[in-house]
Structure 1
Amino acid sequence: MWNPDAFLEKLYNAADTQRLSFQAGSRDEWLDWRAELRSKFIETLGGLEETTADLAPRLLERVECDGYVRERIELTTADSLTMPVYVLLPKSAKGKLPAVVACHGHGYGSKSVVGLLPDGSEAADDPNVHRKFGVALVKRGFAVIVPELLGFGERKLENETIVNRDTNSCFPIGVFLMMLGKTIAGIRIQETMAAVSYAASREEIDASRIGIFGLSGGGLVAAFTAALDERIRAAVVSCYTNTFYDSILHRRHCIDNYIPGILRHAEMPDLIGLTAPRALFIEAGQKDELFPLCGTEKALATLKRIYAAAGVPEQLDSHLFPGGHEVCGEQSYAWLERQLGLHD
């Protein structure tokens, strides 16, 4: 009888929360809403600083694979902060390529997206929820940029690479940043923007045809980077789109999902809707227990209203596939081909 459930529910439903939840009925109202929410979102993330003008790319390795080349590049994304990225390039490509920035979710980092095991050896089969989606995309003809997100793989805190080998450093990095008024989501978004800048600088890549694809926690990064970086032409968000209420607030999640104070302004689909009028594809498993279908359907309803108000309902598409928390690609890969003009 002393449980705080009703208290929390009342706080969520209070009149002064979600003040910028989408209610626009016209294009002009949509534009005003978008500008105000974008500003509040950046502020709540802890601000987005300009990434270093010189990313100082450094080639670490180049490996010939079946039908494509895999490079690993080190980028300088901020003072005292470097990030490795994999770059996958199809061997048979002609002319400038469309590119996809591929954001991994929880697990052992970027290697899971490019078909490698944690030790760097080739994965013979693919039981991983990422389904080697970076390899799938490069074999379709895309250039693929795969950043190692902060806190995963080889970007864990130094002491945790020894004592905490099988997990990530999201919690200690996240709370450190929160105490400084920043968020791990904000830093990851900022670094992913740096990966977009690097993609645009490659001579093989057409800077006007850059997309993004992310799974789960990488879906958060993909969705919110697309919302805030207009260089991204098309975004696929896999197994993340939901409401905070139905997903993040209703079970234990990694701290990287929490943005302090965000519900004073808006819910998750409002934030993802900042991507409009650019193209957005929502992929979700009907049996996903982390981001349940009921919340995804609520989010899609909001997104449809946003895209309608923006005058581009055709720029939003979705696939609720009969699976769980995993990359599907059955419709999203072909959608990216169309949006980024792969065969033009």
Structure 2
Amino acid sequence: MTKTRARLAELIRWQVPEAAVIDSLETRRDGYVLEVLTLQIGAEQVRGLLTKPLNQNGQGPAILYAHSHGGNYDIGAEELIRGREYLLDGPGPALAKAGYVTLCIDMPCFGRRNTVTEASASKALLWYGKSLLGKMLNEEAAALSYLASRDDVDPGRIGALGMSMGSTLSYFHAALDERIAVVAHLCCFANQREMIASGAHDGHGIYMVVPGLLEEFDAGQVAALIAPRPQMVCIGEDDSLTPPDAFKAAWLELEAAYLGKPEALDLLIEPGVGHMETPQMRDSVLWFFERYLKAAESA
């Protein structure tokens, strides 16, 4: 059976809610500008943090950053500034200094939306054949609509980036949404069929469970829908959330999708590294965005 974007959208219950800014506070930081936003996404008010270059003129490239999970529900979008123990630092300032406008929003159950548990939110949606992952992806799409509408953003040069849960959100979103020009994802790319066979799937949160998805799609087949748009995959060789057999199965499916344009697919495997960002990953991601988002400016 041919794997199509339209069919994945049906399974995810994909839709793009309206997004509007209802509040914004801008402050200048050391080498960048921070905006704290309140977005109206559907019926919910959602906090967003946005970093941007100092003294930017005109439209520039942008990144939609999806925050991670890590078992800490208090941080959410603040990861963009505060970082996490498995990140080098908050990526927002570094991306701003490199010339990117970067937006991150609180996912359901995280940050200022930590008023309901992940389990409770997931169960409520699963009863209706929906998923928390689907809700998150719909909200990421709304955030992308807002980001693309900004006067300082070139809507044709928007990339997606994430670590761990943010990795999953980034490549699923890019698979569904062709407005994302390029995507880089770190430390969470593995086929769930192999994860389930070994029991490793239980290391992931219930937010990832999509009813019936594995009957038609696994991670590699989802990420394959991004082709031929540029994609970078970074993993640690010893990451328990990306076991070798599950990663290999996903990678072979993804690699096959880029046979007609292999130069658009990049892979970095860090030997002896677990579930964490490394300096080499950070440098590679910045190079990747420079190559595809900055180069497009002069194309």
- Same fold, TM exceeding 0.5? yes
Match of 2:35 in 1: 71
Asked whether 1:94 is paired with 2:65, we answer no
For 2:15, the aligned partner's letter is: E
Deviations 1:105-160 (A, max 9, x none): 113211122127xxxxxxxxx63436312222122111101111111111122xx5
Asked whether 1:334 is paired with 2:287, we answer yes
Match of 1:180 in 2: 128
Q: 1:248 to 1:59 in 2, by over 3 A?
A: farther
Match of 1:236 in 2: 184
Q: 1:70 to 1:93 in 2, by over 3 A?
A: same
For 1:334, the aligned partner's letter is: W
Asked whether 1:148 is paired with 2:106, we answer yes
- Which of 1 and 2 has greater Rg? 1
Q: Is the 8 A contact 1:170 1:255 kept in 2?
A: yes
Task: Identify which of 196, 207, 223 aligns with 1:256.
Answer: 207
Instruction: For 1:1-344, list aligned pairs within 5 A.
Output: 20=1, 33-34=2-3, 37-45=4-12, 47-52=13-18, 55-78=19-42, 80-106=43-69, 107=72, 108-115=75-82, 127-129=85-87, 131-157=89-115, 160=116, 169-247=117-195, 250-251=199-200, 252=202, 253-308=204-259, 311-322=260-271, 323-327=273-277, 328-341=281-294, 344=298
Partners of 2:217 and 2:206 in 1: CA distance: 19
Q: Is the 8 A contact 2:130 2:211 kept in 1?
A: no
Partners of 2:270 and 2:79 in 1: CA distance: 22
**Structure 1, unpaired ranges of 5+:** 1-19, 21-32, 117-125, 161-168
Q: Is the 8 A contact 1:112 1:130 kept in 2?
A: no
Partners of 2:89 and 2:235 in 1: CA distance: 15
Q: Is the 8 A contact 1:284 1:320 kept in 2?
A: yes
| Residue 301 of structure 1, CA deviation | 1.7
| Residue 235 of structure 1, CA deviation | 0.3
Q: Is the 8 A contact 1:59 1:71 kept in 2?
A: no
Q: TM-score, normalised by structure 2?
A: 0.89
Q: 1:104 to 1:50 in 2, by over 3 A?
A: closer
Q: Secondary structure at the match of 1:100?
A: strand
Partners of 1:155 and 1:272 in 2: CA distance: 28
Q: Is the 8 A contact 2:130 2:210 kept in 1?
A: no
Partners of 1:57 and 1:112 in 2: CA distance: 21
Q: Secondary structure at the match of 1:221?
A: helix
For 1:97, the aligned partner's letter is: G
Choose 282-291 or 206-215, whichever is displaced more: 282-291
| Residue 212 of structure 1, CA deviation | 0.3
Partners of 1:248 and 1:193 in 2: CA distance: 29
Identity of aligned residues (%): 28
Q: Is the 8 A contact 1:62 1:71 kept in 2?
A: yes
| Residue 68 of structure 1, CA deviation | 0.6
For 1:208, the aligned partner's letter is: G
Deviations 1:78-130 (A, max 9, x none): 1x2121111111104333110000111113211122127xxxxxxxxx63436
Q: Is the 8 A contact 1:248 1:257 kept in 2?
A: no
Partners of 2:102 and 2:51 in 1: CA distance: 5
Q: Is the 8 A contact 2:58 2:151 kept in 1?
A: no
Q: Is the 8 A contact 1:129 1:325 kept in 2?
A: no
Q: Is the 8 A contact 2:67 2:80 kept in 1?
A: yes
Partners of 2:110 and 2:89 in 1: CA distance: 18
More helix by share: 2
Q: 1:248 to 1:111 in 2, by over 3 A?
A: farther
Partners of 2:287 and 2:196 in 1: CA distance: 30
| Residue 326 of structure 1, CA deviation | 1.9
